[in-house]
Amino acid sequence: MAQEYDLVILGGGTGGYVAAIRASQLGLKTAIVEKGKLGGTCLHRGCIPSKALLRSAEVYATAKHSDNFGVKINGVELDFEKVQSRKDGIVEQLHKGVQHLMKQGKIDVYEGIGRILGPSIFSPMPGTISVEMNNGEENEMLIPKNVIVATGSRPRSLPGLDIDGEYVLSSDEALSLEQLPKSIIIVGGGVIGIEWASMLSDFDVEVTVVEYADKIVPTEDHEISKEMQRLMKKKGVKIVTGAKVLPESLQKGDGTVTIKAEHKGEEKSFSAEKILVSVGRQANVEGIGIENTDIKVEKGFVEVNDFFQTKESHIYAIGDVIGGLQLAHVASHEGITAVEHLANEKPQSIDYSLISKCIYSNPEIASVGMTEQEAKDKGFELKIGKFSFRAIGKALVYGESDGFVKIIADKDTDDILGVHMIGPHVTDMISEAGLARVLDATPWEIGHTIHPHPSLSEAIGEAALAVDGKAIHS
């Protein structure tokens, strides 16, 4: 049977379900087609489960070193089954929350695989959605005025380094390990790789990170990346940078996997119980009927304009499937902007330079705006303020005083070009810098915002004062 809608959204991940809620707020008759579970990667295979595991790892590491706080705990033990069931419980609770929000917004959810059809008896324009229902019932036919493609992404591997779920894992398999391996090689030292390196190392797994670039977290400011490398090494993580993995060298069996990498002109061999491949994600553009439309796919990602319209102006695309910053909060904001555009609400386009990026390792990294190198490459004359957590009382109280806040400003205009942080709870602190950039605040204005004492946020105030050489505690 055919159903008519103002909007049908293909994919119920963070991008898709948030777009649906905004559409329902605007009075649009809306449906979501989801082949797996509402909440998508972020809720089931990404942000939330990985952060739940990271938190358990942090508690375990703190308990092991509780002597530092004058607290003696004998026989600290890890119950990994409980760690996993806690994580699953959090995911399930949030999953129920998303299901409830769909009901509350009167959003129809079709559980099945959606596909865009070309012009048909239902519509002269491409965009009718056929849904192959998961429950095996007859295909549903949805006739929307507008479509949003929000089909997300999946882990990428290297040719020859196939994910087998036993020896070679992606983050998907790693999240549901029943037991921790004794050792692991992490191929790729970007955001996901470093979160896993930090977590597994805190869980006492022997970790080796093999990274192709000459530094880990290579898109971060160079000083942040250098500090992270130092702190990971301090944890016991082995890091090999400038190393090109040779996938054809993969050997596995008897509980060991070995791989070689080209490093400084030599072949180096690495062995462990498992390999985790974290070399990026590829967009889900296959099997969704793009060939029935004029939608363009460029370098594997759906091409869109500033308001997320594809070449078919009534079909939008948002989130990981369009590439760029593959982050949950980016996907949801793109979804809101697309819905407001199609509903003629005249939204502003997104300024990606105002978006905060976070890494939830221990210690954490957070940033907004340009790195020092990017600002220099753009020709800015810079003034930079830096402040270490070592001089922040609350960081010492927490026993977490590694790291710093760095603020990069334009010497001529006082504009804040970039803010970079590494240290305790910085993922919760970066929003002050984000707001400062949205409001066009200067370092002087941040520095003269009175930060509570003792608080970690004092490091932001001091770094802002340090831009003009006026930090108090340095």
Span 100-159, contacts to ligand FAD by CB under 6 A? 113-114, 150-153
- Provide φ and ψ at 182, rounded to 5°: -75, -35
CA atoms in the 13 A half-sphere facing the CB of 467: 31
CB-CB neighbours of 58 under 10 Å? 16
Among the listed ranges 32-40, 299-307, 417-425, 465-473, the one in contact with ligand FAD (CB under 6 A) is 32-40
CA distances from 398 to 155, 241, 312, 456 (A): 36, 31, 53, 10
Q: What are the residues whose beta carbons fall under 8 Å from the beta carbon of 267, sequence distance 6 or more?
A: 246, 249, 260, 261
Give 99 or 258: the residue with its C-beta nearer to ligand FAD: 99
The binder of ligand FAD chosen from 7, 9, 10, 52 (CB under 6 A)? 10
What is the contact mask toward ligand FAD in residues 158 to 197, using x (rule: CB under 6 A)? -------------x--------------------x-----
Does the annotation list 319 as a binding residue? no
Strand partners, 133: 112
The distance in angstroms from the start CA to the end CA of the chain is 71
| Among 39, 27, 1, residue whose Cα is nearest residue 107 | 27
Give 11 or 247: the residue with its C-beta nearer to ligand FAD: 11
Among the listed ranges 41-49, 63-71, 364-372, 457-465, the one in contact with ligand FAD (CB under 6 A) is 41-49
**Residue 453: left (phi > 0), alpha (psi -120 to 50), or beta?**
beta
**Residue 158: left (phi > 0), alpha (psi -120 to 50), or beta?**
beta
Q: 70-87 in b/e burial notation, b at 16+ Cβ within 10 A?
A: eeeeeeeebeeeebbeeb
Least Å from the CB of residue 83 to ligand FAD: 16
Active site residue 100: no
Pairing status of strand 274-277 against strand 183-187: parallel
- CA distance linking residue 359 with residue 343, whole number of Å: 35
Span 333-362, contacts to ligand FAD by CB under 6 A? 360
Does the annotation list 111 as a binding residue? no
Q: Based on the shown chain and the rule CB under 6 A, indicate whether residue 386 belongs to the binding site for ligand FAD.
A: no
Least Å from the CB of residue 103 to ligand FAD: 18
The secondary element (H helix, E strand) that includes residue 272 is: strand 266-272
Among the listed ranges 5-13, 72-80, 200-208, 266-274, the one in contact with ligand FAD (CB under 6 A) is 5-13
379 exposed, middle or buried (CB, 10 Å; 0-12, 13-18, 19+)? exposed
Q: Based on the shown chain and the rule CB under 6 A, indicate whether residue 323 belongs to the binding site for ligand FAD.
A: no
* Number of chain positions touching ligand FAD (CB under 6 A): 37
Least Å from the CB of residue 177 to ligand FAD: 13
The binder of ligand FAD chosen from 26, 29, 36, 249 (CB under 6 A)? 36
Give 10 or 370: the residue with its C-beta nearer to ligand FAD: 10
What is the contact mask toward ligand FAD in residues 64 to 83, using x (rule: CB under 6 A)? --------------------
Q: What is the DSSP string of 130-177?
A: EEEETT-PPPEEEEEEEEEE---EEE---TT----SSSEE-HHHHHT-
Q: Based on the shown chain and the rule CB under 6 A, indicate whether residue 319 belongs to the binding site for ligand FAD.
A: yes
Span 201-230, contacts to ligand FAD by CB under 6 A? none
Q: Based on the shown chain and the rule CB under 6 A, indicate whether residue 329 belongs to the binding site for ligand FAD.
A: yes
| Cα–Cα–Cα angle for 349, 285, 275, rounded to 5 degrees | 105
- CA distance linking residue 438 with residue 457, whole number of Å: 18
Q: Based on the shown chain and the rule CB under 6 A, indicate whether residue 15 belongs to the binding site for ligand FAD.
A: yes
Span 232-291, contacts to ligand FAD by CB under 6 A? 284, 288
| Among 78, 54, 58, residue whose Cα is nearest residue 175 | 54
Does the annotation list 236 as a binding residue? no
Least Å from the CB of residue 90 to ligand FAD: 14
Among the listed ranges 42-50, 66-74, 227-235, 443-451, the one in contact with ligand FAD (CB under 6 A) is 42-50
Binding-site residues sit at 51, 114, 151-153, 188-195, 211, 280, 320
Binding-site residues for FAD sit at 51, 114, 151-153, 320
Q: Which chain residues interact with ligand FAD by CB under 6 A? A: 10-16, 33-36, 40-42, 45-47, 50, 113-114, 150-153, 171, 192, 284, 288, 319-321, 326-329, 331, 360
Residues taking part in catalysis: 453
